[in-house]
Every structure is written in C-alpha cells, then in structure tokens.
Structure 1
Amino acid sequence: MELQPQSLPTTPAVPEAVPSRPLLSRPIATIQLIVFSIIGIGMFFIPFTINEKSTILFDHAATYLVGEQRSFAVFLLFLLMIYGVGKPLVTGKWKQSITDGVLTLAKLIGLVLAVLYVSGMAPDVIMQKDMMPFLFEKLALPVGMIVPIGALILAFLIGFGLLEMIGVVMQPIMKPIWRTPGASAIDAVASFVGSYSVGLLITNRVYLQQQYSAREAIIIATGFSTVSAAFMVIVAKTLELMPFWNLFFWSTLVITFVVTAITARIPPISFADDTGSKRDDTLGEGKRLATAIDLGIETSRRATDKKEIFWTNFRDGLEMAAAIVPSILAVGLAGLLLDKYTPTFDILGLLLYPFTFISGMGEPLEAAKGMSAGLAEMFLPALLLSKADLLTRYVAGVVSISSILFFSAMIPCILATKIPLSVPKMLIIWFERTVFSILLAAAFGHLAITLGWML
C-alpha cells in the first residue's frame, strides 16, 4: 500500500476512494484493524522467553536462523548480497552519479570480503576476531535475517490503518513542537517503524508537490528519517541491550524527536527557506479522534489484498537488506581499520569529548571516539563500544539512531533527492544531533540505572 501523506484529512469527512476491488465491510475492517494492530504490537514490543532467552518474537526467529540453521542463513545472505551488488550493475544505476558509483563499489568490496571470510582466504589483518569475524557473524548475518523478517512483521503495523490513525492524532503537536505540518507525522512514524528510505521517498515526493517548504523538508529528512526498528534490534543486540528492549526503543524514539525539535530551531535549519509553509486546518479533539478512527477503518477497508501488502513489505525488506549488508561489511571494516590503525576518530572524537566527559561516562575519550565513528556508518558506535560500561553502551545505541546522518547510506540518499541540503550543512546538523543526543541519553541513562530500570 502506498502512503499518501499529503492527502491526510484535516476535516472529519474521509475522502471517498476509488478502489480496484470491493471494499471490506466496516465491521470486518474494524476487526481487521484491531486484530492486525494487536499482532504487530505483540510481535514488535512484547518480549517472550524461549530457551531461557527473553526477546521479541521476530528476533527469536532471526536468532534461530542464524544459530540453528547457519548454513542456510549464510546461503540466503549471499543471495541477498549478490542481488544487492548485481542490481545497480544490471540497471546501470551505478553510473548515474559519483555517489551511486561509490556505493556500488562499496557493495562489491563487501561481497568480495564476505567470500574471502567464508572461504578462509582473507588476510590475517582482517581475520582478527574484532574485524571480519565480528562484522560477518554479529552484524551482517543477523541484519540479513532480521530486516526482511522485521519488514514482514511491520505490515501489521503500517498496512491496515494504524499508521494513518497515528498521523491524524499527532497533527496538533507537529507544528508547535517540530515546526512541520500535521501530515509529516506519517513520515515520522513510517521512518521510525519502517525505514529511512521510505521516509525520504515520502518527504521528497511531498516536497516536490509543494506541500512542504524547504525548511520543513529538511527538518523531516534530517529529524525523522531514522533507521528502522528492525535495525534498532541489531544495535540493541550488539550492545547487549535487548533485556531492556522496550526501554531502549521508546526512550530512543523520544530522544530522537526531542533532538529534532531542538535542531529545527537553530542554524542551519532555522535559516532555511520556509516559503510555502501551509497551515493545518484545526479539528476539535472529539472530531480528531473520530477522524482518526474513520481513516483507520477506511484504510483497513481498502486493505483487501493481504498477500500483496505482506509481499510488498517483505520485498522492501529484502531490497534494503540486499543494499545495506555488503555496504556494512565494506564501510564497517574500513571504519574498524581506521579506528585501529589511524588517528582519524581520535581527532574527530575530540570534538565530542567535552560532552561525553560532562555526561559522566566511564571512559569519555573512548566513548567520544566511538560515537564520532557514527558519521561514517551508523553501526560503528555499537561495534566500537560493544564492551563498554552499561551507560556508555546505552548512549552509543541512542546516538547510533538519533544522529541520523551517516555517509554509508543516509547522506547519499538525501543527496539523491531534491531536498536542498549540502554536505557541509549535513555535517553541522550531524554534530548538533550527536551532541544533543549524548547529553539527553546520558541524563536518561543515569536516571534509568539509578532507578533500577537498567541493571
């Protein structure tokens, strides 16, 4: 199902749809909305204990594949990587721009590294346990399994009306807090529970239709387009935060959006052109709730082709995993080598050191170095700080998600849109987001540890 945030209703009446097939009856659609939303919430947010391990259900499924069916999982992973490398070569996308060429080369290098690792032919310098073995076994393999499974489960949350309901309910707070239209709530939720690529596609499309001003598009692209919840599971697993999954997920969501509210009010974003900003129509709270429910049910009524909804989400997950896994291996290894053999992140980390120091982390300089690596690849803080103290690991996890901008994927994706953002401006925004994320996450982390929420 294609999201159309620009058509989010601002009046109680829900627009008539012209479906290609008969609509479900309202009672059946209501039941479908309720049941599928409960299933999605249950699979994503309720931990279950299986074999003495407590985690969410789709993580159990991915863990089973990686642990008990490793050969099959490795086979599937290579199919994904071959597809991810081959697609831009076959379609010619690799030569559309320098960015596409560099990303395709990174994927190709990642595939070669995976072959060398599995065949045992990789050089000793990258076969150390904290290099390729860690990247492949603890990151690439779980990502390859979790992202498609997570995308399939996400269909329950975003395919049957719950997403649209949240969008309407969120309208009154979007403009006052984040300086964006109510319709951008769809972007925010779609990005956080779906993927940044989905969020960016929506944002770019709506911006080109002149429904967002330049400043609003920049706020949404740099403030809401996070990595998906499925990727958050990988970060949490790497940092051993899965025992606190709900605390980690919800606090990260809140911190990410609080940071967005701050950066929307300071340069360079506050200086961006706001011409064309549209004012939302107002709805009374009773009417708003009724509108949200009506839109959710109407969306559910149109969701008659369940196979197509689930397949579309699963296919998107496959596409994302195929694109990101080989890049993770290439960029991740480059980052680890830079960290181990060069002063690159030592120098960059000095910019963040004052903030990790006042945040009370155990080894503030090491924490600053690790978190600065997030500019290259969002997973690197988790990789580099996986053995740190609990507070540092928690802050690193939040920063991995909340900083949003990184060179291995997000920044090139934004450059491929028409959103008016240059690399220098994105670097400034990354620094601002990282600093505020460190301060807020550390403050909450101290509180959570003191109150016994994280032990």
Structure 2
Amino acid sequence: MNENIERNNTGKIKFVLFSLIGLVVFFVKLPFGETSTVPIDMIVGIAKTALAPVLPYLVLAIGIYGMYDVFIKQKSYKGGVSNIIMSICKALGFLMIVLVVFNIGPSFLMAPDIGPSTVKILGGSVALVAAIGAFFLPLLLEFGLADAIGVFLRPLMRPLFKVPGKSGVVAVTEYIGNFSLGHIAINKMYKNGEVTGKEAAIIATGWATPSLVTFMVFANMMEIMNYWNIYFLVVTLAVTIITFITIRIYPLRNIKNDYYPGVTPIEEKVYKTNLFKNFWAEGVKKADNAPSLGKIELTQLKNILPMLGGMMTTGMFFMAGGLILKTYTPIVTWIGYLFWPFLSLIQIPDITVAMQSCGMSILDSMFTVVVAVGQNIDIATRFLIAAIPPCMIVFLSGFVPCLLSTEVPIKFYQLIMLWFIRVVLTILLIGSFVWLFF
C-alpha cells in the first residue's frame, strides 16, 4: 500500500514539475536583451552565436550520418520509386554540402546568397532548432501533459479534425513553436501506436507553421504590424478552416488509417463527465509509468539523428536548387501563373506581385514575402502576402525534407498537391477578408 502511495506521489510530482517546465520553455515569454521571447528561442539564439564558426561543419557531420543512414543502416534506397528519388535527392544534397563547406563548388552554387546562405540556414535555423527542441519536447509529451490535455481536446479534435485529443498539444506546439518540433512529436506518437498514419499526416500538415516568431517577421516585412492582432487572429482562423477542409479531400482523405507496423495501438479514452478529475488522473498515470528522463532522452537522440540527416541533405538539395532555379530561370515566375485565376477572382490589387509571391512560396516560406519587400503595393496585397506563408504550411526548403525524414506515411507528390490546395484556399479566404475590410 505504502509503495503504491509513494509511486502515485512520484507520478504527481513528475506530472506537475515536468509539465510546468515544458510549458514555460515553449510558451512563456521572458525578458531577453531588449525584447522578450520564449526560453527555447533564447537557448537557440545563444547556441547560434556560440556555434556560428562551426555550423557549416555541423551540417556536414549530420549530412555524413544521413548518408550512412540511407545507404548503410536503413538502405532506404532499395524501396519504391519515391524512396529511390528521395535517396538521390539526399545524395545530391550531401554533395552540395561538401562542395560549399570546402569552397570548391561551381560559381552558380557558391554565390553567397545560394550555397553558403543555405548551409547557414540549415545549421542555425533548422538543425539547432530541431535538436534543442527535441531535447525539451519529452517534457510536453512523455510525462502526462499531452494525455491530460487530450481529455479536454478530444470532443473538439475528433469530430472536427479526425485526430485524437492528445494530438492537440502537438498541434499547438508546432503552430506556435516550429514545424520540425511537431514532426518529431507526431512521428514519435505514430511509432508508439498513439495515432494512425492518417492521423499523423493530418497533424503534421495541418498546423505545422514556421513558428509564431516568423509570423511577426512576415507582418513586419510587409509593414502591417499595426494590424498585428487582426493578422494573427485571421491567420489562425484561416489555418483552422483550411485544415478542416483539406483533411476531407484528396490527398489526405486517401491516406490509410493504419497504425505503425507491428505496434500495439494505444486507444484514447473518451470522457464525457468529470473532465477535470480525469485530466488529473490521466496525467498522473502517464507520468507514473514513464521511464526516467535519461532513458527518454537517449531514445529521443536515436530518433532525431536520422531525421536531422534527412533534413540537412534534402533541405540543401531543395533550397539551394530552388534558389538556383529562381536566379537563373523563369520557372518560378511561370508557377505564379497557376494562381492568376484565383487572384483575379478576389480582385487583389498589384496582382503581378501577388503572383510572384505565390510562385516563390513553394521554395521557402520567407521567399514568399521577400519578393514583395520594398515595393509600393496596396495594403490588401501586403496583408495577403504576409498570410500566405503561415497558411500554406508546405514548402521545399525545410518542411518537406523534415516531414519526409519521418516515418509518417505521406508522399512527396501529395505534399506538393497540399501546397497548391492550401495556397489556393489561402487566397480565397484571406483575399475575401481583405476585399471586405481594406
């Protein structure tokens, strides 16, 4: 009896302590220099500064592990057509990393704003964010918080978005935090049997924005910070509506609703009464049965390394490749014409600039806004352009390689289709708003 009471007390302490630390690290803004930000952003910023001289070599080292994982450990190149294509992209991306790090590449790759810039972004904005985020993520997922929040979110998440309630905390984490953190978290839940492949794909593509911080960057670059509260609320509503629609149409609708092969499914309990009591009970139970933090972190390290390897190599291929296409070919401009009918329908001002932004969005979320910076364009167009990156979710330089490095069962062509659908829906939803209010 005493042993059970002691275990229960330990579970309560772990649930409360680790959950509070996790919430503070990811969501509570604290003073930092002349501004304020969440602790994880502080840690990433400090790490970027401290490791700046060696970041290219960090990218190279992770890329080497990525090649080992693809061609020796996992041998994923022996899979289907998609696996073969992605393995080729990873190999080419790794070659590009080597050329840039050792400064021996061709001039079109070695241009400062192409190869070197890409390696810098991969090292500081991708690798460090993913690695540091993965270290703290178990505080939100492994000690009861996700399970406890699921008690409240299930009545909303299941009927509206066809996913378990506990995945709601991942959705919030990736929406406010960063898509890479969400991908790591949902991949873990999928492999644990907590969600199916379809549910994992829905969460991984539904709310996985670049981060709340970048929302501010987009708004600032488009000079609409005086509309910040409206911008954030409208974008959040648009992301929710777009996700509600996309899970009910192809391609997400057709992904198999199967659990990870060989895993025992963990069904989520449904509570209709005593929600607060069950919130506490579910959290304590999960924390009580959780392994030690040390064991969890070792497992997390094993899971994150293959993902980082894929993110560095495919990220290099897609981002640097996209920049090369943008600089030396008209292809990206042509892509923009796909959105002309929808932009015309909502009568957006400065339609040429809006088309260019839409075409650039497939390469990188930031490119969408960069193309319009400094141009004298209408406030309605600026608001729309600032809203496209967080609403579209999918882009080649970071999101796609990050998600394809997980075991979530979604294909490259399905992600490209999702990108197009989400951009179109963003144009129609945000465009209708700016048409009415600006």
Q: TM-score, normalized by length of structure 1?
A: 0.72
Point out the more displaced range, 198-207 or 394-403: 198-207
Q: What's the CA shift for 1:64?
A: 2.5
Aligned residue identity for 2:204: S
Name the structure 2 match of 1:165.
148
Name the structure 1 match of 2:279.
292
Question: 1:403–1:430: 8 Å Cα contact kept in structure 2?
Answer: yes
Q: What's the CA shift for 1:307?
A: 0.8
**Is residue 2:79 matched to residue 1:96?**
yes
Question: 2:146–2:167: 8 Å Cα contact kept in structure 1?
Answer: no
Name the structure 1 match of 2:391.
399
Question: 2:207–2:239: 8 Å Cα contact kept in structure 1?
Answer: no
**Is residue 2:88 matched to residue 1:105?**
yes
1:71 to 53, 62, 71: 53
**Is residue 2:68 matched to residue 1:86?**
yes
Name the structure 2 match of 1:7.
none
**Is residue 2:104 matched to residue 1:121?**
yes
Question: 1:73–1:141: 8 Å Cα contact kept in structure 2?
Answer: yes
Task: Provide Cα deviations, 1:305-363, integer angstroms capped at 9, x if missing partner.
Answer: 01112333344334322210121111111112222333333233222234456678775
2:205 to 226, 230, 248: 226
Question: 2:369–2:386: 8 Å Cα contact kept in structure 1?
Answer: no
**Is residue 2:421 matched to residue 1:432?**
yes
Question: 1:65–1:73: 8 Å Cα contact kept in structure 2?
Answer: no
Question: 1:398–1:437: 8 Å Cα contact kept in structure 2?
Answer: no
Question: 1:197–1:225: 8 Å Cα contact kept in structure 2?
Answer: no
Name the structure 1 match of 2:309.
322
**Is residue 2:148 matched to residue 1:156?**
no
Question: 1:359–1:439: 8 Å Cα contact kept in structure 2?
Answer: yes
Secondary structure of 2:22's partner? helix
**Is residue 2:366 matched to residue 1:382?**
yes
Q: What's the CA shift for 1:81?
A: 1.4
Instruction: Describe how 1:285-364 pairs up with structure 2 within 5 A.
Output: 286-356=273-343, 363-364=350-351
Question: 1:73–1:145: 8 Å Cα contact kept in structure 2?
Answer: no
CA distance in 1, matches of 2:238, 2:396: 12
CA distance in 2, matches of 1:406, 1:63: 19
Secondary structure of 1:61's partner? helix
Q: What's the CA shift for 1:221?
A: 4.8
Aligned residue identity for 1:342: T
Q: What's the CA shift for 1:170?
A: 1.2
Aligned residue identity for 1:31: I
| CA RMSD in angstroms, aligned pairs only | 4.5
Aligned residue identity for 1:88: V
Instruction: Describe how 1:173-322 pairs up with structure 2 within 5 A.
Output: 173-180=156-163, 185=168, 188=171, 194-196=181-183, 198-199=185-186, 202=189, 218=198, 220-226=199-205, 232=211, 239=218, 255-266=238-249, 283-284=271-272, 286-322=273-309
CA distance in 2, matches of 1:168, 1:48: 29
Q: What's the CA shift for 1:149?
A: 0.3
Task: Provide Cα deviations, 1:89-131, integer angstroms capped at 9, x if missing partner.
Answer: 1122222233223222222222222232233323222333432
Point out the more displaced range, 306-315 or 329-338: 306-315
Q: What's the CA shift for 1:232?
A: 3.1
CA distance in 2, matches of 1:399, 1:126: 30
CA distance in 2, matches of 1:111, 1:329: 7
Return 5+ residue gaps in structure 2 as ranges. 259-266, 374-381
Q: What's the CA shift for 1:412?
A: 5.5
Secondary structure of 1:224's partner? helix
1:305–1:201 CA distance, 2 compared to 1 (3 A): closer
1:350–1:41 CA distance, 2 compared to 1 (3 A): same
Question: 1:394–1:441: 8 Å Cα contact kept in structure 2?
Answer: no
Secondary structure of 2:370's partner? coil
Aligned residue identity for 1:263: T
Q: What's the CA shift for 1:148?
A: 0.3
CA distance in 1, matches of 2:204, 2:59: 26
Task: Provide Cα deviations, 1:148-186, integer angstroms capped at 9, x if missing partner.
Answer: 001112121112111111222111123432245657657
Question: 1:367–1:385: 8 Å Cα contact kept in structure 2?
Answer: no
Question: 1:84–1:319: 8 Å Cα contact kept in structure 2?
Answer: yes
Count of aligned residue pairs for this structure pair: 411
Secondary structure of 1:160's partner? coil
1:131 to 86, 94, 114: 114
Return 5+ residue gaps in structure 1 as ranges. 1-20, 451-455
User: How many percent of aligned residue pairs carry the same amino acid?
Assistant: 22
CA distance in 1, matches of 2:62, 2:361: 24
Name the structure 1 match of 2:127.
144
1:417–1:159 CA distance, 2 compared to 1 (3 A): closer
Question: 1:349–1:372: 8 Å Cα contact kept in structure 2?
Answer: yes
Secondary structure of 2:372's partner? coil
Question: 1:226–1:404: 8 Å Cα contact kept in structure 2?
Answer: no
Question: 1:223–1:257: 8 Å Cα contact kept in structure 2?
Answer: no
Aligned residue identity for 1:435: V
